[in-house]
């Protein structure tokens, strides 16, 4: 009988037994057993979350594909700032509902929570295919933001509870870049779907929302059966495997057991500037990634002169390159147990690409800049999430920090939605300057955190301060 079948009351008993039998979980088990268990976790945890997140990304950004597929004319989105409003309104409820979602997921259960909100936002996507005015589109985008708010924070939160701090980067990157790569092909898919214009009296942009909305609803249905819960509540590992997972997590960061929310904890987290630094980092990187997601097809058409179909096809290759680049740097980051230097390198890589796109006069070189910009930005999305998980301990603190960090990404999305203005076409240089500035913020904050970590670690090792995070043996990762 599995641990989950014995009931949650026995979890602490099994965990305590594992802790007393062997604190050093890594050296006390057979390597074959460990490798088999980790592979089983990877297989059951990551693919379904990656697929669902790719659906989530497609649904939130395919408004740009719909724009160039006839929606701009049908809904008069070229007038004033209507398109920017339709893109940025998504992020207002998205930011507000993330923390409540991360609190509720433990109570509701991961599969039920993720499955339900996915089905609901898929239904909204289907509804978007039948809107008749631009303000109806804005309302649907706001509903989409409410429902998607609980998804990405939940995914990163769940993944972070399963792995050691120095093996999480490649998992987080694998989850993220697979999603981004699939989403990168959404423009090519949208280009094909848009060719259905006129069928059943619907325009091409309506078919984009309709068909992808149906896919989302089906994905949400699958989530009820395939999404896995937290380690102490899982149903797919054996009792022995679960004890090993809990013991090794506790040996790494002393937080294998769930610590319950209190108002004292909440307010202490609210006023911890260190936690907010991750939100600033994530907001900065998402300014770049959302800028490319929302405006790349438009820049390729209006800025570089490509046809609509060619522009949609040309959005996929940069995301494929970004996936290869991101996973390569993640493997090295885990191997060398370094985070900050990789954040800085990837930000510089993005700056090079953004500069080429902004200022070079040859379209081929500008398009090469898109490769670099998307690669550096995508790599840093996953890297910042790994950086966060390496330097936070405790379930509730991790839930809080994950929520505000991804909320910071929502603010980056708002910035990205407003800085690429119609009057700046075809170069869109003000928007590109803002995205370059966001990468400079990443470099500055990472350097500041590294100095902070150095002195905190040094003081803890020399006995001049108490244990970091209140957990003996825990040190910050540069």
Distance of CA 19 to the CA centre of its chain: 33
Task: List the structure tokens of 184.
Answer: 């990168």
Phi-psi region of 384 (alpha: psi -120 to 50; beta: other; left: phi over 0): alpha
Distant-in-sequence contacts of 251-255, Cβ < 8 A, 24+ apart: 251/23, 251/24, 251/25, 251/26, 252/164, 252/165, 253/165, 253/393, 253/471, 253/474, 254/393, 254/471, 254/472, 254/473, 254/474, 255/393, 255/394, 255/395, 255/398, 255/471
SS3 category, 166? coil
Q: How far is CA 462 from CA 283, 459, 467, in A?
A: 35, 5, 11
The whole-angstrom separation of Cα 304 and Cα 80 is 22
pLDDT by position in tens, the chain (length 478) = 434 444 434 433 443 443 334 344 455 568 899 999 999 999 999 999 999 999 998 898 888 889 888 999 999 988 888 888 898 899 889 988 988 888 888 888 899 999 999 999 999 999 999 999 999 999 999 999 999 998 988 898 899 889 988 888 889 888 887 787 777 677 778 888 888 988 988 999 999 999 999 999 999 999 999 999 999 889 999 999 999 999 888 888 766 566 778 888 999 999 999 999 999 999 999 999 888 876 777 777 767 777 767 776 787 788 889 889 999 999 999 889 899 999 999 999 999 998 988 888 888 898 999 999 999 999 999 899 999 989 998 878 988 999 899 999 989 988 887 887 767 776 678 888 899 999 999 999 999 999 999 999 999 999 999 899 888 888 999 8
Report d(CA 340, CA 387) in Å as an integer: 8
Please list, in sequence order, all residues whose beta carbon lies within 8 angstroms of the beta carbon of residue 47, skipping any fewer than 6 positions away: none
Asked whether 367 and 314 are in contact (CB, 8 A), the reply is yes
- pLDDT for res 19: 39
Could you report how far apart the first and last alpha carbons of the chain are, in Å?
A: 42
68 DSSP 8-state letter: I
pTM of this structure: 0.80
- CATH class of the structural domain 25-468: mainly alpha
CB atoms within 10 A of CB 133: 11
Question: Taking the domains of the chain in order of start, what are their residue ranges?
Answer: 25-468
């Amino acid at each position: 009988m599995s641990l989950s079948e014995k009931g949650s009351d026995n979890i602490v008993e099994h965990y305590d037994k594992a802790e007393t039998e062997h604190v050093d979980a890594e050296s006390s088990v057979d390597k074959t057993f460990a490798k088999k268990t980790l592979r089983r976790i990877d297989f059951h945890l990551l693919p379904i979350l990656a697929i669902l997140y790719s659906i989530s990304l497609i649904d939130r950004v395919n408004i740009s594909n719909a724009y160039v597929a006839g929606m701009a004319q049908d809904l008069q989105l070229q007038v004033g700032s209507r398109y920017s409003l339709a893109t940025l309104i998504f992020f207002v409820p998205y930011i507000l509902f993330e923390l409540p979602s991360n609190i509720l997921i433990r109570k509701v259960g991961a599969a039920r929570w993720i499955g339900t909100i996915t089905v609901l936002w898929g239904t909204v996507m289907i509804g978007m295919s039948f809107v008749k005015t631009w303000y109806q589109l804005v309302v649907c985008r706001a509903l989409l933001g409410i429902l998607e708010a609980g998804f990405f924070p939940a995914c990163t939160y769940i993944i972070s509870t399963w792995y050691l701090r120095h093996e999480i980067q490649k998992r987080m990157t694998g989850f993220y870049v697979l999603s981004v790569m699939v989403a990168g092909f959404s423009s090519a898919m949208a280009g094909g779907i848009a060719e259905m214009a006129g069928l059943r009296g619907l325009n091409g942009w309506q078919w984009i929302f309709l068909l992808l909305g149906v896919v989302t609803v089906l994905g949400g249905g699958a989530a009820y059966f395939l999404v896995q819960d937290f380690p102490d509540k899982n149903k797919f590992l054996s009792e022995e495997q679960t004890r090993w997972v809990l013991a090794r997590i506790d040996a790494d960061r002393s937080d294998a057991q769930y610590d319950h929310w209190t108002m004292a904890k909440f307010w202490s987290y609210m006023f911890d500037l260190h936690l907010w630094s991750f939100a600033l980092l994530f907001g900065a990187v998402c300014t770049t990634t959302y800028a490319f997601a929302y405006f790349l097809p438009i820049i390729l058409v209006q800025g570089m002169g490509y046809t609509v179909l060619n522009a949609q096809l040309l959005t996929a290759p940069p995301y494929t390159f970004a996936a290869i680049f991101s996973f390569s740097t993640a493997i090295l980051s885990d191997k060398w147990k370094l985070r900050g230097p990789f954040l800085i390198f990837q930000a510089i890589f993005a700056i090079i690409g953004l500069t080429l796109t902004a200022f070079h006069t040859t379209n081929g070189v500008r398009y090469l800049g898109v490769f670099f910009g998307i690669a550096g930005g995508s790599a840093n999305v996953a890297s910042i999430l790994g950086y966060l998980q390496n330097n936070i301990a405790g379930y509730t603190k991790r839930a809080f920090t994950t929520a505000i960090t991804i909320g910071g990404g929502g603010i980056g999305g708002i910035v990205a939605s407003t800085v690429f203005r119609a009057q700046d076409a075809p170069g869109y240089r003000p928007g590109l300057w803002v995205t370059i500035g966001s990468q400079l913020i990443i470099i500055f904050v990472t350097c500041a955190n590294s100095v902070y970590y150095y002195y905190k670690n040094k003081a803890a090792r020399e006995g001049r301060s108490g244990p970091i995070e209140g957990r003996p043996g825990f040190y910050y990762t540069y």
